[in-house]
Structure 1
Protein backbone atom coordinates (compact mmCIF):
# COMPACT_ATOMS: atom_id res chain seq x y z
CA UNK A 1 0.00 0.00 0.00
CA UNK A 2 1.39 3.45 -0.90
CA UNK A 3 0.36 4.67 2.58
CA UNK A 4 0.66 3.05 5.97
CA UNK A 5 -2.76 2.88 7.64
CA UNK A 6 -3.42 2.40 11.35
CA UNK A 7 -6.99 1.96 12.61
CA UNK A 8 -7.19 3.42 16.13
CA UNK A 9 -10.08 2.60 18.50
CA UNK A 10 -11.16 5.64 20.51
CA UNK A 11 -13.77 6.41 23.17
CA UNK A 12 -16.38 3.63 23.38
CA UNK A 13 -16.98 2.73 19.74
CA UNK A 14 -15.23 5.36 17.58
CA UNK A 15 -12.39 4.89 15.14
CA UNK A 16 -9.76 7.37 14.04
CA UNK A 17 -7.16 6.63 11.39
CA UNK A 18 -3.48 7.45 11.14
CA UNK A 19 -1.97 7.54 7.64
CA UNK A 20 1.72 7.86 6.83
CA UNK A 21 3.57 8.47 3.58
CA UNK A 22 6.99 6.88 4.07
CA UNK A 23 8.41 8.63 1.00
CA UNK A 24 7.78 12.15 2.29
CA UNK A 25 7.29 11.61 6.02
CA UNK A 26 3.81 13.14 5.89
CA UNK A 27 1.57 11.80 8.66
CA UNK A 28 -2.14 12.48 8.92
CA UNK A 29 -4.92 11.72 11.36
CA UNK A 30 -8.52 11.42 10.16
CA UNK A 31 -10.93 12.57 12.88
CA UNK A 32 -9.89 13.07 16.50
CA UNK A 33 -12.36 11.58 19.00
CA UNK A 34 -9.69 11.68 21.74
CA UNK A 35 -5.99 12.42 21.89
CA UNK A 36 -4.26 9.75 23.97
CA UNK A 37 -4.56 6.71 21.64
CA UNK A 38 -3.44 8.81 18.68
CA UNK A 39 -0.48 10.33 20.48
CA UNK A 40 0.52 6.78 21.46
CA UNK A 41 0.52 5.64 17.81
CA UNK A 42 2.62 8.62 16.73
CA UNK A 43 5.10 7.97 19.54
CA UNK A 44 5.35 4.24 18.90
CA UNK A 45 5.92 4.72 15.18
CA UNK A 46 8.15 7.77 15.47
CA UNK A 47 5.92 9.66 13.05
CA UNK A 48 5.74 13.49 12.94
CA UNK A 49 2.16 14.69 12.54
CA UNK A 50 1.62 17.05 9.58
CA UNK A 51 -2.12 16.98 8.86
CA UNK A 52 -5.49 16.42 10.55
CA UNK A 53 -8.48 15.70 8.33
CA UNK A 54 -11.95 16.24 9.84
CA UNK A 55 -15.01 14.66 8.21
CA UNK A 56 -17.70 16.55 10.15
CA UNK A 57 -18.36 18.70 13.18
CA UNK A 58 -19.75 16.21 15.71
CA UNK A 59 -17.98 16.26 19.04
CA UNK A 60 -16.94 12.60 18.94
CA UNK A 61 -14.92 13.38 15.81
CA UNK A 62 -13.30 16.69 16.73
CA UNK A 63 -13.16 17.15 20.50
CA UNK A 64 -9.76 15.50 20.89
CA UNK A 65 -8.01 17.96 18.59
CA UNK A 66 -7.05 20.52 21.25
CA UNK A 67 -5.47 17.87 23.48
CA UNK A 68 -3.80 16.23 20.49
CA UNK A 69 -2.05 19.43 19.47
CA UNK A 70 -1.17 20.19 23.09
CA UNK A 71 0.45 16.76 23.39
CA UNK A 72 2.77 17.30 20.44
CA UNK A 73 6.18 18.97 20.62
CA UNK A 74 5.65 22.70 20.14
CA UNK A 75 7.61 22.83 16.88
CA UNK A 76 5.41 20.04 15.46
CA UNK A 77 2.07 21.41 16.64
CA UNK A 78 2.49 24.78 14.96
CA UNK A 79 2.96 23.13 11.56
CA UNK A 80 -0.06 20.79 11.66
CA UNK A 81 -2.54 21.64 8.90
CA UNK A 82 -6.17 21.01 9.89
CA UNK A 83 -8.47 20.16 6.96
CA UNK A 84 -12.25 20.42 7.01
CA UNK A 85 -15.27 21.42 4.97
CA UNK A 86 -15.43 25.06 3.96
CA UNK A 87 -19.22 24.85 4.25
CA UNK A 88 -18.86 23.70 7.86
CA UNK A 89 -16.02 26.00 8.89
CA UNK A 90 -18.29 27.98 11.24
CA UNK A 91 -18.64 24.94 13.51
CA UNK A 92 -15.32 23.18 13.06
CA UNK A 93 -12.03 23.99 14.79
CA UNK A 94 -9.95 26.62 12.96
CA UNK A 95 -8.94 25.28 9.55
CA UNK A 96 -5.70 25.70 7.67
CA UNK A 97 -7.30 24.10 4.61
CA UNK A 98 -11.01 24.63 3.93
CA UNK A 99 -12.09 22.06 1.35
CA UNK A 100 -15.07 21.56 -0.94
CA UNK A 101 -16.63 19.00 -3.28
CA UNK A 102 -14.46 17.97 -6.19
CA UNK A 103 -11.26 19.59 -4.99
CA UNK A 104 -7.99 17.67 -4.98
CA UNK A 105 -5.27 18.38 -2.44
CA UNK A 106 -1.95 16.69 -1.79
CA UNK A 107 -1.07 14.63 1.25
CA UNK A 108 2.58 13.70 0.87
CA UNK A 109 2.80 12.24 -2.63
CA UNK A 110 -0.86 11.22 -2.70
CA UNK A 111 -3.79 13.09 -4.23
CA UNK A 112 -6.77 13.43 -1.89
CA UNK A 113 -10.15 13.99 -3.53
CA UNK A 114 -12.81 15.74 -1.47
CA UNK A 115 -16.38 14.42 -1.61
CA UNK A 116 -19.41 16.26 -0.26
CA UNK A 117 -21.38 13.44 1.38
CA UNK A 118 -24.06 15.38 3.22
CA UNK A 119 -26.83 13.45 4.94
CA UNK A 120 -25.70 12.54 8.43
CA UNK A 121 -24.85 16.24 8.69
CA UNK A 122 -24.99 18.99 6.10
CA UNK A 123 -21.38 19.76 5.26
CA UNK A 124 -20.07 16.25 5.94
CA UNK A 125 -17.12 15.43 3.68
CA UNK A 126 -15.22 12.27 2.83
CA UNK A 127 -11.61 12.02 1.73
CA UNK A 128 -10.82 9.63 -1.12
CA UNK A 129 -7.17 8.78 -1.80
CA UNK A 130 -7.31 6.92 -5.13
CA UNK A 131 -3.61 6.02 -5.28
CA UNK A 132 -3.83 4.28 -1.91
CA UNK A 133 -7.30 2.78 -2.42
CA UNK A 134 -8.68 4.47 0.71
CA UNK A 135 -11.88 6.39 1.44
CA UNK A 136 -12.39 8.01 4.82
CA UNK A 137 -16.14 8.22 5.19
CA UNK A 138 -16.75 9.30 8.79
CA UNK A 139 -20.41 8.74 9.62
CA UNK A 140 -21.72 8.69 6.04
CA UNK A 141 -21.11 5.22 4.55
CA UNK A 142 -20.37 2.79 7.39
CA UNK A 143 -19.71 -0.93 7.64
CA UNK A 144 -23.12 -2.52 6.98
CA UNK A 145 -24.83 0.83 7.45
CA UNK A 146 -24.93 4.58 7.07
CA UNK A 147 -25.19 7.43 9.54
CA UNK A 148 -28.47 8.56 11.01
CA UNK A 149 -29.87 11.62 9.22
CA UNK A 150 -29.47 14.27 11.89
CA UNK A 151 -29.45 17.21 9.47
CA UNK A 152 -29.79 16.04 5.89
CA UNK A 153 -32.55 14.41 3.89
CA UNK A 154 -32.89 10.88 2.53
CA UNK A 155 -32.35 12.29 -0.97
CA UNK A 156 -29.06 13.89 0.09
CA UNK A 157 -27.80 10.74 1.74
CA UNK A 158 -28.78 8.55 -1.18
CA UNK A 159 -26.84 10.83 -3.54
CA UNK A 160 -23.86 10.57 -1.21
CA UNK A 161 -24.07 6.79 -1.16
CA UNK A 162 -24.25 6.72 -4.96
CA UNK A 163 -20.96 8.65 -5.03
CA UNK A 164 -19.34 6.00 -2.86
CA UNK A 165 -20.81 3.17 -4.90
CA UNK A 166 -19.10 4.57 -8.00
CA UNK A 167 -15.61 4.21 -6.48
CA UNK A 168 -13.40 1.24 -7.41
CA UNK A 169 -14.65 -1.87 -5.66
CA UNK A 170 -11.28 -2.57 -3.99
CA UNK A 171 -11.47 0.76 -2.11
CA UNK A 172 -11.15 0.35 1.66
CA UNK A 173 -14.02 2.12 3.43
CA UNK A 174 -12.60 3.62 6.61
CA UNK A 175 -15.66 4.58 8.64
CA UNK A 176 -15.98 6.12 12.05
CA UNK A 177 -17.65 3.60 14.38
CA UNK A 178 -17.82 -0.02 15.45
CA UNK A 179 -21.54 -0.35 14.72
CA UNK A 180 -21.22 -3.35 12.43
CA UNK A 181 -22.82 -5.97 14.69
CA UNK A 182 -25.98 -3.94 15.27
CA UNK A 183 -26.08 -2.94 11.61
CA UNK A 184 -25.90 -6.60 10.66
CA UNK A 185 -28.79 -7.50 12.96
CA UNK A 186 -30.92 -4.98 11.10
CA UNK A 187 -29.83 -6.22 7.67
CA UNK A 188 -30.62 -9.82 8.65
CA UNK A 189 -34.06 -8.75 9.85
CA UNK A 190 -34.74 -7.37 6.38
CA UNK A 191 -33.44 -10.47 4.55
CA UNK A 192 -33.22 -13.48 6.90
CA UNK A 193 -32.34 -15.91 4.10
CA UNK A 194 -29.68 -13.82 2.34
CA UNK A 195 -26.63 -16.11 2.18
CA UNK A 196 -24.15 -13.27 1.70
CA UNK A 197 -25.41 -11.71 4.93
CA UNK A 198 -25.21 -15.00 6.79
CA UNK A 199 -21.59 -15.48 5.73
CA UNK A 200 -20.60 -11.91 6.63
CA UNK A 201 -22.37 -12.17 9.98
CA UNK A 202 -20.21 -15.16 10.84
CA UNK A 203 -17.07 -13.21 9.87
CA UNK A 204 -18.14 -10.25 12.00
CA UNK A 205 -18.78 -12.49 15.00
CA UNK A 206 -15.35 -14.10 14.68
CA UNK A 207 -13.64 -10.72 14.46
CA UNK A 208 -15.41 -9.28 17.47
CA UNK A 209 -14.84 -12.42 19.56
CA UNK A 210 -11.13 -12.02 18.80
CA UNK A 211 -11.25 -8.35 19.78
CA UNK A 212 -10.58 -7.21 16.22
CA UNK A 213 -12.20 -4.23 14.46
CA UNK A 214 -14.61 -4.81 11.59
CA UNK A 215 -13.45 -1.52 10.05
CA UNK A 216 -12.22 -0.87 7.41
CA UNK A 217 -14.15 -2.97 4.93
CA UNK A 218 -13.97 -3.12 1.15
CA UNK A 219 -16.46 -1.33 -1.03
CA UNK A 220 -17.05 -4.61 -2.88
CA UNK A 221 -18.21 -6.19 0.39
CA UNK A 222 -20.44 -3.24 1.20
CA UNK A 223 -22.00 -3.34 -2.25
CA UNK A 224 -22.91 -7.00 -1.72
CA UNK A 225 -24.22 -6.77 1.83
CA UNK A 226 -24.92 -3.22 3.02
CA UNK A 227 -28.69 -2.65 2.64
CA UNK A 228 -28.27 1.12 2.37
CA UNK A 229 -26.03 0.73 -0.69
CA UNK A 230 -28.42 -1.87 -2.15
CA UNK A 231 -31.55 0.27 -2.40
CA UNK A 232 -31.64 -0.42 -6.16
CA UNK A 233 -31.22 -4.20 -5.70
CA UNK A 234 -34.39 -6.04 -6.85
CA UNK A 235 -33.92 -8.71 -4.16
CA UNK A 236 -33.87 -6.15 -1.36
CA UNK A 237 -36.74 -4.16 -2.87
CA UNK A 238 -38.86 -7.29 -3.00
CA UNK A 239 -37.86 -8.31 0.52
CA UNK A 240 -39.29 -5.08 1.95
CA UNK A 241 -42.38 -5.07 -0.27
CA UNK A 242 -41.31 -2.23 -2.59
CA UNK A 243 -40.43 -4.03 -5.86
CA UNK A 244 -41.38 -1.12 -8.11
CA UNK A 245 -40.15 1.78 -5.98
CA UNK A 246 -37.31 4.10 -6.94
CA UNK A 247 -34.03 3.51 -5.11
CA UNK A 248 -34.31 6.82 -3.27
CA UNK A 249 -37.71 5.77 -1.90
CA UNK A 250 -36.35 2.38 -0.88
CA UNK A 251 -33.44 4.02 0.89
CA UNK A 252 -35.78 6.36 2.77
CA UNK A 253 -37.89 3.40 3.86
CA UNK A 254 -35.01 1.31 5.18
CA UNK A 255 -33.39 4.32 6.87
CA UNK A 256 -36.68 4.92 8.66
CA UNK A 257 -36.91 1.27 9.65
CA UNK A 258 -33.38 1.35 11.01
CA UNK A 259 -34.20 4.41 13.11
CA UNK A 260 -37.03 2.44 14.72
CA UNK A 261 -35.19 -0.88 14.94
Structure 2
Protein backbone atom coordinates (compact mmCIF):
# COMPACT_ATOMS: atom_id res chain seq x y z
CA UNK A 1 0.00 0.00 0.00
CA UNK A 2 3.02 2.31 0.02
CA UNK A 3 2.21 3.28 -3.60
CA UNK A 4 -1.20 4.65 -2.60
CA UNK A 5 -1.03 8.35 -1.78
CA UNK A 6 -2.32 9.01 1.75
CA UNK A 7 -4.97 11.43 0.48
CA UNK A 8 -6.42 8.88 -1.97
CA UNK A 9 -9.66 7.13 -0.98
CA UNK A 10 -9.88 3.42 -1.76
CA UNK A 11 -13.32 2.23 -0.75
CA UNK A 12 -13.75 -1.18 0.89
CA UNK A 13 -14.32 -3.87 -1.71
CA UNK A 14 -12.00 -2.40 -4.33
CA UNK A 15 -9.40 -4.88 -5.60
CA UNK A 16 -6.01 -3.39 -6.46
CA UNK A 17 -2.87 -5.37 -7.18
CA UNK A 18 -0.05 -4.55 -4.77
CA UNK A 19 1.91 -2.89 -7.58
CA UNK A 20 -0.83 -0.38 -8.50
CA UNK A 21 0.05 3.28 -7.94
CA UNK A 22 -2.66 5.81 -7.03
CA UNK A 23 -2.09 9.57 -6.93
CA UNK A 24 -3.30 12.21 -4.52
CA UNK A 25 -7.00 12.86 -3.99
CA UNK A 26 -8.10 10.05 -6.27
CA UNK A 27 -11.26 8.12 -5.38
CA UNK A 28 -11.64 4.44 -6.24
CA UNK A 29 -15.05 2.85 -5.70
CA UNK A 30 -15.97 -0.46 -4.09
CA UNK A 31 -16.60 -2.43 -7.31
CA UNK A 32 -13.36 -1.48 -9.07
CA UNK A 33 -10.62 -3.98 -9.97
CA UNK A 34 -7.20 -2.80 -11.16
CA UNK A 35 -4.43 -5.08 -12.42
CA UNK A 36 -0.70 -5.16 -11.86
CA UNK A 37 1.51 -2.28 -12.92
CA UNK A 38 -1.28 0.21 -13.61
CA UNK A 39 -0.76 3.79 -12.47
CA UNK A 40 -3.60 6.19 -11.69
CA UNK A 41 -2.78 9.87 -11.44
CA UNK A 42 -4.10 12.41 -8.95
CA UNK A 43 -7.66 13.76 -8.87
CA UNK A 44 -9.24 10.82 -10.71
CA UNK A 45 -12.55 9.15 -9.96
CA UNK A 46 -12.79 5.46 -10.85
CA UNK A 47 -16.19 4.08 -9.95
CA UNK A 48 -18.94 1.71 -11.04
CA UNK A 49 -18.36 -1.93 -11.93
CA UNK A 50 -15.04 -1.19 -13.61
CA UNK A 51 -12.26 -3.65 -14.39
CA UNK A 52 -8.87 -2.33 -15.51
CA UNK A 53 -6.07 -4.62 -16.67
CA UNK A 54 -2.30 -4.50 -16.42
CA UNK A 55 0.21 -1.72 -17.08
CA UNK A 56 -2.25 1.00 -17.94
CA UNK A 57 -1.31 4.64 -17.41
CA UNK A 58 -4.25 6.79 -16.40
CA UNK A 59 -3.32 10.44 -16.09
CA UNK A 60 -4.82 13.01 -13.74
CA UNK A 61 -8.40 14.33 -13.80
CA UNK A 62 -10.13 11.38 -15.42
CA UNK A 63 -13.67 10.09 -14.82
CA UNK A 64 -13.68 6.33 -15.34
CA UNK A 65 -16.71 4.07 -14.92
CA UNK A 66 -19.28 6.75 -14.16
CA UNK A 67 -22.98 6.25 -14.81
CA UNK A 68 -23.73 6.59 -18.49
CA UNK A 69 -25.60 9.53 -20.01
CA UNK A 70 -28.56 7.53 -21.27
CA UNK A 71 -31.83 8.81 -19.79
CA UNK A 72 -33.11 5.24 -19.57
CA UNK A 73 -30.30 4.24 -17.22
CA UNK A 74 -31.71 3.25 -13.85
CA UNK A 75 -28.56 2.34 -12.00
CA UNK A 76 -28.24 -1.24 -13.26
CA UNK A 77 -24.84 -2.84 -12.49
CA UNK A 78 -23.49 -2.50 -16.00
CA UNK A 79 -19.76 -2.51 -16.59
CA UNK A 80 -16.67 -0.90 -18.07
CA UNK A 81 -13.79 -3.21 -18.97
CA UNK A 82 -10.38 -1.81 -19.92
CA UNK A 83 -7.59 -4.10 -21.11
CA UNK A 84 -3.82 -3.80 -20.81
CA UNK A 85 -1.18 -1.16 -21.64
CA UNK A 86 -3.58 1.64 -22.48
CA UNK A 87 -2.66 5.30 -22.09
CA UNK A 88 -5.53 7.56 -21.03
CA UNK A 89 -4.64 11.23 -20.90
CA UNK A 90 -6.25 14.05 -18.92
CA UNK A 91 -9.98 14.84 -18.61
CA UNK A 92 -11.39 11.78 -20.37
CA UNK A 93 -14.85 10.42 -19.53
CA UNK A 94 -15.37 6.67 -19.90
CA UNK A 95 -18.87 5.42 -19.05
CA UNK A 96 -20.40 2.04 -18.21
CA UNK A 97 -22.80 0.25 -20.55
CA UNK A 98 -26.58 -0.06 -20.62
CA UNK A 99 -28.97 -3.00 -20.33
CA UNK A 100 -30.51 -1.91 -23.64
CA UNK A 101 -27.33 -3.14 -25.32
CA UNK A 102 -24.57 -5.52 -24.22
CA UNK A 103 -24.34 -3.95 -20.77
CA UNK A 104 -20.62 -3.32 -21.13
CA UNK A 105 -18.30 -0.68 -22.50
CA UNK A 106 -15.00 -2.22 -23.58
CA UNK A 107 -11.57 -0.81 -24.36
CA UNK A 108 -9.01 -3.34 -25.55
CA UNK A 109 -5.23 -3.27 -25.36
CA UNK A 110 -2.47 -0.82 -26.33
CA UNK A 111 -4.77 2.09 -27.09
CA UNK A 112 -3.73 5.74 -26.98
CA UNK A 113 -6.59 7.96 -25.78
CA UNK A 114 -5.66 11.62 -25.66
CA UNK A 115 -7.04 14.43 -23.51
CA UNK A 116 -10.75 15.31 -23.27
CA UNK A 117 -11.99 12.23 -25.13
CA UNK A 118 -15.41 10.77 -24.40
CA UNK A 119 -16.26 7.06 -24.60
CA UNK A 120 -19.99 6.60 -24.10
CA UNK A 121 -22.04 3.60 -23.04
CA UNK A 122 -21.65 0.27 -24.82
CA UNK A 123 -18.81 1.49 -27.00
CA UNK A 124 -16.39 -1.19 -28.18
CA UNK A 125 -12.81 -0.07 -28.84
CA UNK A 126 -10.41 -2.68 -30.16
CA UNK A 127 -6.63 -2.72 -29.90
CA UNK A 128 -3.98 -0.21 -31.00
CA UNK A 129 -6.59 2.53 -31.52
CA UNK A 130 -5.64 6.21 -31.36
CA UNK A 131 -8.18 8.84 -30.30
CA UNK A 132 -6.84 12.38 -30.62
CA UNK A 133 -7.84 15.23 -28.32
CA UNK A 134 -11.57 15.87 -27.91
CA UNK A 135 -12.67 12.90 -30.02
CA UNK A 136 -16.17 11.89 -28.94
CA UNK A 137 -17.75 8.46 -29.35
CA UNK A 138 -21.51 8.32 -28.80
CA UNK A 139 -23.26 5.26 -27.44
CA UNK A 140 -22.90 1.82 -29.10
CA UNK A 141 -20.05 2.92 -31.40
CA UNK A 142 -17.52 0.30 -32.53
CA UNK A 143 -13.91 1.24 -33.32
CA UNK A 144 -11.91 -1.64 -34.75
CA UNK A 145 -8.20 -2.42 -34.36
CA UNK A 146 -5.58 0.10 -35.50
CA UNK A 147 -8.14 2.79 -36.36
CA UNK A 148 -7.33 6.47 -35.73
CA UNK A 149 -9.97 9.04 -34.78
CA UNK A 150 -8.84 12.63 -35.32
CA UNK A 151 -9.15 15.48 -32.86
CA UNK A 152 -12.51 17.21 -32.36
CA UNK A 153 -14.24 14.42 -34.28
CA UNK A 154 -17.78 13.43 -33.35
CA UNK A 155 -19.01 9.90 -34.01
CA UNK A 156 -22.78 9.41 -34.06
CA UNK A 157 -24.31 6.61 -32.01
CA UNK A 158 -24.14 3.08 -33.43
CA UNK A 159 -21.58 3.95 -36.10
CA UNK A 160 -18.58 1.71 -36.81
CA UNK A 161 -15.05 2.65 -37.77
CA UNK A 162 -13.25 -0.17 -39.54
CA UNK A 163 -9.79 -1.59 -38.93
CA UNK A 164 -6.87 0.56 -40.11
CA UNK A 165 -9.19 3.45 -41.01
CA UNK A 166 -8.11 7.05 -40.47
CA UNK A 167 -10.72 9.67 -39.56
CA UNK A 168 -9.37 13.18 -40.07
CA UNK A 169 -9.55 16.24 -37.86
CA UNK A 170 -12.97 17.63 -36.89
CA UNK A 171 -14.94 15.07 -38.89
CA UNK A 172 -18.64 14.27 -38.49
CA UNK A 173 -19.09 10.50 -38.65
CA UNK A 174 -22.72 9.66 -39.42
CA UNK A 175 -22.15 6.50 -41.49
CA UNK A 176 -19.85 3.52 -41.10
CA UNK A 177 -16.24 4.07 -42.15
CA UNK A 178 -14.92 1.03 -44.06
CA UNK A 179 -11.57 -0.52 -43.16
CA UNK A 180 -8.36 0.87 -44.66
CA UNK A 181 -9.91 4.19 -45.75
CA UNK A 182 -8.99 7.78 -44.93
CA UNK A 183 -12.01 10.03 -44.39
CA UNK A 184 -12.65 13.58 -43.27
CA UNK A 185 -15.04 16.49 -43.51
CA UNK A 186 -18.64 17.37 -42.82
CA UNK A 187 -20.34 15.80 -44.67
CA UNK A 188 -17.87 12.95 -44.37
CA UNK A 189 -16.08 11.79 -47.51
CA UNK A 190 -13.54 9.10 -48.36
CA UNK A 191 -10.33 10.65 -49.62
CA UNK A 192 -7.95 7.74 -50.19
CA UNK A 193 -6.50 4.55 -48.75
CA UNK A 194 -4.69 4.98 -45.44
CA UNK A 195 -1.39 4.08 -47.09
CA UNK A 196 0.81 5.73 -44.46
CA UNK A 197 -0.83 3.74 -41.68
CA UNK A 198 -0.63 0.47 -43.61
CA UNK A 199 3.07 0.95 -44.35
CA UNK A 200 3.72 1.64 -40.66
CA UNK A 201 2.11 -1.73 -39.92
CA UNK A 202 4.35 -3.51 -42.44
CA UNK A 203 1.71 -4.18 -45.08
CA UNK A 204 3.55 -5.32 -48.20
CA UNK A 205 3.38 -3.38 -51.45
CA UNK A 206 1.32 -6.23 -52.91
CA UNK A 207 -1.28 -6.09 -50.13
CA UNK A 208 -1.52 -2.31 -50.39
CA UNK A 209 -1.91 -2.64 -54.17
CA UNK A 210 -4.94 -4.90 -53.78
CA UNK A 211 -6.42 -2.58 -51.13
CA UNK A 212 -6.00 0.31 -53.58
CA UNK A 213 -7.92 -1.71 -56.16
CA UNK A 214 -10.72 -2.30 -53.65
CA UNK A 215 -10.86 1.43 -52.96
CA UNK A 216 -11.08 2.16 -56.67
CA UNK A 217 -13.87 -0.36 -57.20
CA UNK A 218 -15.85 0.92 -54.22
CA UNK A 219 -15.38 4.65 -54.75
CA UNK A 220 -14.08 5.49 -58.22
CA UNK A 221 -15.64 2.99 -60.64
CA UNK A 222 -19.23 4.21 -60.72
CA UNK A 223 -20.43 0.78 -59.58
CA UNK A 224 -23.44 0.30 -57.37
CA UNK A 225 -22.57 -1.11 -53.97
CA UNK A 226 -23.55 -4.63 -55.00
CA UNK A 227 -21.54 -4.36 -58.21
CA UNK A 228 -18.52 -3.10 -56.27
CA UNK A 229 -18.78 -5.98 -53.79
CA UNK A 230 -18.88 -8.51 -56.62
CA UNK A 231 -15.86 -6.92 -58.30
CA UNK A 232 -13.94 -6.92 -55.02
CA UNK A 233 -14.82 -10.58 -54.52
CA UNK A 234 -13.28 -11.26 -57.94
CA UNK A 235 -9.92 -9.94 -56.69
CA UNK A 236 -9.39 -13.09 -54.60
CA UNK A 237 -6.22 -14.88 -55.55
CA UNK A 238 -4.58 -11.81 -57.11
CA UNK A 239 -0.96 -11.21 -56.08
CA UNK A 240 -0.85 -14.83 -54.97
CA UNK A 241 -3.78 -14.33 -52.59
CA UNK A 242 -1.68 -12.19 -50.24
CA UNK A 243 -4.61 -9.83 -49.60
CA UNK A 244 -7.45 -12.36 -49.44
CA UNK A 245 -7.77 -11.76 -45.70
CA UNK A 246 -8.04 -8.02 -46.33
CA UNK A 247 -10.78 -8.68 -48.88
CA UNK A 248 -12.67 -10.62 -46.20
CA UNK A 249 -12.25 -7.75 -43.73
CA UNK A 250 -13.65 -5.18 -46.14
CA UNK A 251 -16.51 -7.26 -47.53
CA UNK A 252 -17.63 -8.50 -44.11
CA UNK A 253 -17.65 -4.93 -42.81
CA UNK A 254 -19.61 -3.52 -45.75
CA UNK A 255 -22.11 -6.38 -45.71
CA UNK A 256 -22.79 -5.90 -41.99
CA UNK A 257 -23.36 -2.13 -42.28
CA UNK A 258 -26.84 -1.34 -40.94
CA UNK A 259 -26.80 2.40 -41.58
CA UNK A 260 -24.81 2.57 -44.78
CA UNK A 261 -21.14 3.25 -45.40
CA UNK A 262 -19.44 6.52 -46.23
CA UNK A 263 -19.61 6.65 -49.98
TM range (shorter): under 0.3
Q: Which has the higher contact order (CA 8 A, sep 6+)?
A: 1
Name the structure with the higher helix share. 1
* TM-score calculated relative to the size of structure 1: 0.27
